[in-house]
Every structure is written in C-alpha cells, then in structure tokens.
Structure 1
Amino acid sequence: MTTNQELYSKRQNRLDMAIALGMPDKVPIILTGDSFFARHLGIPLADYLKDLYESSQIHLRSIPQLGEIDGVQYLNPCVYSLGQGVYANVKLPGRELPPNAQWQIEEVNLMTADDYDTILNKGFIQFHQEFLAKNLPTALSDMDFHMKTDFPRIIADYKQAGYVPFTPIICGVPFDMLSSNRGMSNLVKDLYRIPDKVVSVIDIMTTDLIEILRAQIRYMKPYAVFIGATRCASEFLSPKLWEKFALPHLKRIVETVAGEGCKVLMHFDSNWDRSLEYFREFPKGKCVFASDHSTDIYKARKVLDGHMCVMGDVPAALLKLGTPDEVYQYCNKLIKDLGPSGFILAVGCCLPLDAKVENVKAMIAAANGK
C-alpha cells in the first residue's frame, strides 16, 4: 500500500514537472475552495470560521471524499485577511450575516488624494496601519486573528495527508490595493492628473510589500506563493497605462518570489488576453498563469507555450449548474488539448459555495482518467 509520504512525493514531482514544462505522468489537479468544503460536510459557515486551524481540518476531511488530487490552493479560508488587503468592510456569517450565508465584501473607497502624500512621506507600512486603525478597525482585528493561525502546523498536516500545500502565502498587488481603496474611477482619474505621484506611490508600496513577502517566504518556506491580481488586468487599462502602472510592479513581485526559490501562482482574474505576451518576460519554468475563465486559456497556452505553465479553467458556473457529464467532458477536453506538459487542471478562481458535489467529483475523475 502506498503511504501518504510516497503520495506526497509523487504529487509534488508531478507538479514540479508541469510547472518546469517537463512531462509529468499525467496532468496534475489542484483543488481551490473554502466555503464549499464546509457546505459539503454540512458545517455552518459561522462554525467553519471560528478557528482557522479547525477549518483546515474541515478541508482535510472533505477532500478525500471527493477523489484523488495533487495539491490544495487554500489551506484554510483567507477571509480574515481580506478587509485589510482591499480596504473594505468584510461581512461574515454569524457576525454581520446569518450563520450559513456566504461572506461578503463591501467596498467603501475611503482613500483620498491627500493620502498619496502620506504614503510618500511615511512609507506604505505606517500609512497602512494608521489608515486601518482610523477607518477600518474591524479589518485590523480580523487580520490579527488571521495572523495567530499556526500555518507551519497546517502546512505539515497537508503534507502528512499526502497533499501538496500549494500556496500557503497570499499576496495582493499595489495597483489593486489602490483601486480598492481609492475606487476604480477615482484612481483612473489620478493616473491622468497626477501620474508621476501615483507611480512613486506604487514603487514605495511594491518595495514595502516585497520586504514583508520575503520575510513570510523565509519563515514558511512555501511550495508556491499566490500573487492575486484583478483590477490591473489589461482589459481595464489602455496599453500605455498598463505598461506604466501595472506591468513593472507585477514583474518585480513575481521576480522576487522566484528569486527566493519559490514557484509563483499568478492568480489573475479578469481578462488578460492583451498582455499575455508580456508574461514571457517573467521567469521561465517558475510561474503558473491561473485563469478564472475570463482570459482565453487556449490563447494563454499558445502564447506562453514553452515558457510558463497554465492552470484552469473549469468555470465555477459549470460546477454549480452543469451536469457531471458536462463537467467531465469539459475537463477531458482541456486535458487532451492543453496537457500534459505545462498544464494544471483546476477550477477557474475558486469552487463556489454551492457547487454540486457530483460535479466536483467529475472534475477530479477526469484528471485521473476515470
């Protein structure tokens, strides 16, 4: 009988090969979910969020019932870190919402143009702490709760269960943080009115975030780091603006993670079709471009072939509304068309709370050729 340690080694090697653009024995599958696992086991979401170590154990009880997978993207819910990451009010089940309701993000756009000067004068870290304490104290206390989690223990638990803990570290990007805090329309106006100031602020934010990220990587020694970007997608900006305000800091962060010896999960929601060619400038064989189904995954595979692994892109809507046969056929087509080298099968973004269990099983079965 194969031990969990042997399974872990085999699965890690499979992912290593796919990301390095080698030839794995089969297309790997990563499972990305949070609230789905609680719903699958009949656990109210309010209870699921009470203890972030226990929530990781809920994942580990749910996953074996779904099929054989290689790795897990969210080791536990990251919801307590969202408020400070996007400068928003996060409503939680059992707190602001009914006990079994999906959590919600309420944008408030509190940043003013004067705050750019604060960042320039004090640095991003001091601005961040003072801004949250003054305007979003719940987000600050939520983050404190998140940081008390014993992540090394959780990482070890996944390894002992035979799964690769794919991305235990999650990092946002400066443009998206500004867009959430300032508001999309206000920020775009700032790009025209005070472009040099915005670039300087983004540079400072990037430098400060990289310092934090390096410390996290050296402490946790993750397999990969999740870099999340949505609002700086090329569909929202002209090519000229994108090249000036988005590309440089994305590249700096990705290169930093790769330079620390980690793989990089570029979890890029929204449509990035227009900028795919630029990703060939990123470290070869170290990164994974993960689409949420908005980007054309076939185009991504073609453009990035021989340079970057592609991951996705089973639509969340299909897992909720489709049939097991429809899911299986969709996944099987992706595997045949895009694999086995340089491709990882996964849901586009994240399993929805109310995905059909039989559909998730069908996705996993397709990856295993069953």
Structure 2
Amino acid sequence: MKNMPDFREHNREVRELWDAYRKGTHTRVPMITGVSDRFYVLNPVTNPGNVSFYEYTSDPDLMFDMQCAFSEYARFHIPGDHELGIPEEGWNVNIDFQNYYEAAWYGCEVRFPDGEVPYAVPLLKDDKKNLLFEKGLPDPFGGFMAKAKEYYDRFQERIKSAEILGQRVTSVGAPFTGTDGPFTMACELRGADNLCIDLCEDPDYYHQLMEYLTESIIQRMKAWRKYMGLPEVAKSFGFADDSIMLLSVDMYREYVLPYHKKMAHALSTMEERGGVHLCGDATRHFKTLRDELNIYNFDTGFPVDHRALCEELGEEVAIQGGPRAQLIHQGTPEEIEAESKRILEAVKPVSRRFIFRDGNDIPPYTPMENIQALYDACLKHGRYDN
C-alpha cells in the first residue's frame, strides 16, 4: 500500500504512557476508545455492502473476513491511546455473538431487528419457569455453544494463512471465557420485571435459578478455558453483571453477592486484583465489590459522578469513565470537549488511576470528528499539574 501512515511515534508515546501509568509516574490521563463490532457492522461507511447482523452471524467465513476488515479499520481510523497501524506481532480477530450468546446457550430465541443489534427473547415464562431445571445443566459445548465452537475452530483454521496488509493474522480472541453475570442472565431469561417479582414473592425459585445459572456459568467458563489452553482457575476475577443496577446495596448483598463470591472462588485464586464492567447507575455497589471480591478496576457507563467515586474508593482503584455515549454520538465537538474537560478537571486532583473513555461503547453512526474531539480533549485537559 502506497502512502502508508507512519504511526511509530504515536505508538512509542502510547507504550511509554501505559508503562508510566502502571508505575504511577504518568503525566497525563490515558484514554481508551470503546468502539466495538456493532459500530462497524451497523455503519454504512464501514459496511457499504449492508451486510446484516443475521448474515454476519450466520457464516463463520464472512464473520472472519469482516473481523479482519474491522481490525484494519480500527487501527487506522480510531483515535486513542492504543497502538495504531500494522501490529508488529500480528493481527487479532474476535468471534462476535454480541451479548446474546449466553442467553442463546440456555435456549432463548435470538431476534435480528433491521438496523439494530440482535437480542435474546425471555424464555422462562410463568408456565415454563422450571424448564431449565427439568433439562439439567447445559453442556458447555452443546446447544448454541456447539455453533460457537464451530466458529472458533474455523477461525483457528483461517488464521493459518490469513493476512492483512501483508502481516499475518496470528490470534483469535478468547471468547466465551467470561460472563455477563448470573443476575443479568436471570433477567434475560425470566424478564427483569418477572425476576424482581420472584425475588420478593418467590425467593425459593429465585435462589434455585441463581444457583443453576451460577453453576452452569462456572462449568462453561472452565471448559472453554481448558479448550483454549488457558488455566481453568485464573489469578484474578473479572466479570460483568449490569442488571445489579436494579438493586439496593442491601439487596445486592443478600441476593446476588453470594453467587458472585461463588464464581470468584471457583474461577480464580483472587491473589491478584480483578475488574468488573458495570453500565448504568451501579456505583453504589462498587465499594462492596472492592471489599468483598478484590475488584480494583471498574469500567463504568452512565450516570457516574467520577470525582465522588474516586474519592470514595481511594487512590489504588482504577476507574474507567467519561462523557455519556449519547453525547459523543449526538453532540458537537465543542460540547464533547466541554464535558470532557469538566470530568478530567474533577478527577485529576483526587486520583491518578483514572482512565478516560466514553461511557460506554460509542454507537454506530457517530461522526469521526466527535471521537477525535474526545481524544483531543484528553490530550489537552488530561495533563496533571505535577
């Protein structure tokens, strides 16, 4: 390719920034950019063939080819404190079943609305509340996960010969080794409104469902880790469970924390600090997660009072956060800079562990100048005074 951009200076600065961040000697807040597969698939600029999510999901070779195209696009067009250009150690691609694969594994129908991401339809209606218990725990490689394994094996075959811009594709991201959380799964399977009613009116059923989901998640994660040659028990515990935003602190401690603890002890030694992704208004749970699960890295969404959170959790805790995704999507560059400056100026005096990002996951159709404005604001307003 002629006129290939030279990103060597940017990449050198990025490596130095993250090295300094880990040592606590950095002079600027670093930034990560949340641009996921949906940004690429649902954007006519990046997907001019208008390949639908259904088509993309139905063909492993098509998914592989679009993942290669997305990897190239991200490293040449998306600004942020990540390496740009052709990766020296080879390209990575990911299997992408969005956030529906766990629910699909339990048997939920997956729907593909035009112009939107796929979603799972609740399975456990009142007349089928006990359906999963009657079937027993699902096979980690059965049902939808059989399709997932087929895709993973095909991707591993494709990377033996695949190249992007003359550089080999050398790795496939480790899919299906994490979880969106047992409480969120219970909400997806039962419907959030029904589950919350169960929690109050039928607690025995609620706990039976949560025990079922927690145990099956543990078995699946261990099986997939083993299949990919990874340790079944990691040194730290990382997960997500967005739906705990529905609960008070006391309800979380009583109804969900015991299951999170079970996962943490089954899947990790907890000798190293872990992390969690929690979108929505879940920050009231962060202190509990830190103290009970050794979680010291929080990836946040919106709404978040970043300064108050940093002050409450202390200087050893890393908080990832920034302007809400809707503002980045619909606002002007000037509005994005103003909100970015407000957040950065608020957190810099109280934390050197803050990581700037969108809050959370930049939507498709977001103008590139808005993403650039986010990064420019971090470069301009993210420097520490000392």
TM over 0.5: yes
Q: What CA deviation, in whole Å up to 9, does each residue of 1:86-138 have, x standing for no partner?
A: 6644334xxx63xxx2224253443447644853x764325995xxx6xxxxx
Asked if the contact 1:91/1:106 (under 8 Å) is kept, the reply is yes
Q: What CA deviation, in whole Å up to 9, does each residue of 1:29-78 have, x standing for no partner?
A: 22222232352535345268353333332332222223242379x96473
Output the amino acid matched with 1:13: D
Q: Distance in 2 between matches of 1:128 and 1:215?
A: 8
Alignment of 1:152-191 (within 5 A): 169-191=177-199
Q: Distance in 2 between matches of 1:171 and 1:331?
A: 30
- Give me the identity figure in percent: 16
Task: Check 1:296–1:287 CA distance in 2 against 1; reply closer, same or farther (3 A cut).
Answer: same
Output the amino acid matched with 1:29: M
Task: Check 1:122–1:282 CA distance in 2 against 1; reply closer, same or farther (3 A cut).
Answer: same
Task: Check 1:6–1:146 CA distance in 2 against 1; reply closer, same or farther (3 A cut).
Answer: farther
Q: Corresponding residue for 2:241?
A: 229
Matched, 1:266 2:265: no
Q: Corresponding residue for 1:278?
A: 288
Structure of greater relative contact order (alpha carbons < 8 Å, 6+ residues apart): 1
Q: What CA deviation, in whole Å up to 9, does each residue of 1:304-340 have, x standing for no partner?
A: 2234211113211111111112212322333333246
Q: Secondary structure at the match of 1:213?
A: helix
Q: Distance in 1 between matches of 2:77 and 2:140?
A: 45
Q: What CA deviation, in whole Å up to 9, does each residue of 1:265-306 have, x standing for no partner?
A: 41112211432331231455x642122112433332222223
Indicate the structure (1 or 2) with the bigger Cα radius of gyration: 2
Task: Check 1:91–1:194 CA distance in 2 against 1; reply closer, same or farther (3 A cut).
Answer: closer
The equivalent position to 1:34 in structure 2, one of 31, 34, 37, is 37
Q: Corresponding residue for 2:19?
A: 13
Asked if the contact 1:90/1:104 (under 8 Å) is kept, the reply is yes
Output the amino acid matched with 2:19: N
Shift of 1:206: 1.7
Asked if the contact 2:328/2:366 (under 8 Å) is kept, the reply is yes
The equivalent position to 1:69 in structure 2, one of 60, 63, 81, is 81
Alignment of 1:1-370 (within 5 A): 2=8, 10=16, 13=19, 16-17=22-23, 22-32=24-34, 33-38=36-41, 39=43, 40-46=45-51, 49=56, 51-63=62-74, 64-70=76-82, 76=94, 78-79=96-97, 82-85=100-103, 88-92=108-112, 97=114, 101-105=115-119, 107-112=121-126, 115-116=129-130, 118-119=132-133, 123-125=136-138, 143=148, 146-148=151-153, 150=155, 169-217=177-225, 219=228, 227-233=239-245, 236-254=246-264, 259=269, 264-282=274-292, 284=294, 287-339=296-348, 341-369=352-380
Q: Distance in 2 between matches of 1:223 and 1:75?
A: 25
Asked if the contact 1:257/1:263 (under 8 Å) is kept, the reply is no
Shift of 1:172: 1.6
Shift of 1:28: 2.4
Task: Report the TM-score when normalising by structure 1.
Answer: 0.73
Q: Secondary structure at the match of 2:357?
A: strand
Q: Corresponding residue for 1:136?
A: none
Q: Distance in 1 between matches of 2:22 and 2:156?
A: 22
Q: Distance in 2 between matches of 1:239 and 1:34?
A: 33
Q: Secondary structure at the match of 2:276?
A: strand
Unaligned residue ranges in structure 1 (runs of 5+): 134-138
Shift of 1:352: 0.3
Q: Distance in 2 between matches of 1:351 and 1:75?
A: 20
- Does 316-325 or 47-56 show the bigger shift? 47-56
Higher helix share: 1
Q: Distance in 2 between matches of 1:224 and 1:325?
A: 40
Asked if the contact 1:254/1:264 (under 8 Å) is kept, the reply is no
Asked if the contact 1:276/1:303 (under 8 Å) is kept, the reply is no
Output the amino acid matched with 2:33: L
Q: Distance in 1 between matches of 2:229 and 2:191?
A: 33
Output the amino acid matched with 1:308: V
